[in-house]
Amino acid sequence: MRRIAPRPIALAVADLRERIAPATPLAAVQRAWPEAAGETIAREAEPVAERGGVVTLACRSAVWAQELDLMGPELVERLNAALQRPLVRALRCTATGAGAPR
């Protein structure tokens, strides 16, 4: 069977990205973070480490670190729902100062 048009490169790249993505808990959390946290929170904080189910978030400021610390149980629940498994037990929020995360 002959194709009518070339396959879009985005499909090939997405498939490749899924196959080469690290199979670590942190990588899974980083992929799920934007959806679980929402656009505003994801812009202000990002998962940078995971150990024993505790995910460390690098927050743009101390105010965001404190706010996300208070939202921790809700964010854990949303993350685990996005991951479709209970991978995250708790969040640890740290302030990294202006300019971080990206």
How many C-beta neighbours within 10 Å does residue 87 have? Answer: 18
* DSSP E strands, the chain: 45-51, 54-59, 90-95
Domain that holds residue 68: 23-95
Number of domains the chain contains? 1
Q: Could you tell me if residue 33 is inside a domain?
A: yes
Better pLDDT: 16 or 61: 61
CATH of residue 64's domain is 3.30.300
pTM of the model: 0.76
CA distances to 2, 15, 41, 60 from 87, rounded to whole Å, are: 44, 24, 20, 24
| Dist CA 41 CA 7 (whole Å) | 35
Provide the pLDDT confidence category of residue 21 given band limits of 50, 70 and 90: low
Phi then psi for residue 95, to 5 deg, are -90, 130
